[in-house]
Amino acid sequence: MQNFAVLASGRGGNLQAIINAVKSKKIKANLKVVVSDKADAFALKRAKKARIASIYVAPKDYTDRQSFDCKVLECLREYKIDFVVLAGYMRLLSAHFIRQYPNKIINIHPALLPSFKGINGIRDALEYGVKITGVSVHFVNEEMDAGTIIAQETVKITSKDTLKSLAQKIHKVEHKLYPEVIGWFAQKRLKVIGRKTVLR
């Protein structure tokens, strides 16, 4: 079985869904370590509770993105990590990091890419007034939120939706879709052909 790491900065709702899916063997891979750039990330508490190694790397201890990423990479090497899952990780990865794991870093984004990239995907879609938004899971490349798309699911926006209600709908879809996609990846069912990912 392959080893993987989750990188998270916040609440860890997706991390929890992943932990549950590993436990129930929907994901057939070992979640070895959770790394965060935020000391108080609730994701670290979830990891500890599930007896998964958790590491905080303090950005202030590093002069630039690459040296910070080198420390994270060192942690990943220590745990013999084969692939990396970003779950609400609010830092851009350096090109150096991405080159260590080509097509082996997966991210989830709370909008239908290539629309509403960035850190406020849910709010930006709501404010723009689109009627349909959703969730995208994609491989990470050197451009922000621009890697090959693996899977997408739609979420309808009604006139009654608030940021809170829309976020709840998005998170519900995320917590189902992300473990499923990670499960496919772990079983080597994903093949990247140019801009497209094929599920075999």
Would you please indicate which residues are annotated as catalytic (active-site) residues? 109
Residue 174 engages ligand GAR in binding (rule: CB under 6 A): yes
Contact of 110 with 174, CB cutoff 8 Å: yes
Query: Which of the ranges 5-13, 60-68, 74-82, 97-105 carries the binding residues for ligand GAR, by CB under 6 A?
Result: 5-13
Which residue stretch of 3-11, 31-39, 92-100, 125-133 sits at the interface with ligand GAR (rule: CB under 6 A)? 3-11
For residue 8, state whether it binds ligand GAR (rule: CB under 6 A): yes
What does the block give as tokens for 148?
């090959």
Cβ neighbour number for residue 125 with a 10 Å cutoff: 23
x/- mask, ligand GAR, residues 25-64, rule CB under 6 A, reads ------------------x---------------------
Contacts with ligand GAR: how many residues (CB under 6 A)? 16
Q: Using CB positions, name the residue nearest to ligand GAR.
A: 88
**15 close to 6: Cβ distance less than 8 angstroms:** yes
**CA atoms of 192 and 75, how far apart (whole Å):** 27
Minimum CB distance to ligand GAR, residue 130 (Å):
16
**Binds ligand GAR (CB under 6 A): choice among 11, 26, 71, 123:** 11
- Note the helical H segments in the chain: 13-23, 42-49, 65-78, 95-100, 121-128, 163-186
Binding flag, residue 134, ligand GAR (CB under 6 A): no
Cα distances (angstroms) measured from residue 90 to each of 10, 37, 107, 118, 186 = 8, 9, 11, 9, 24
Among 87, 93, 106, 113, indicate the residue that binds ligand GAR (CB under 6 A). 87
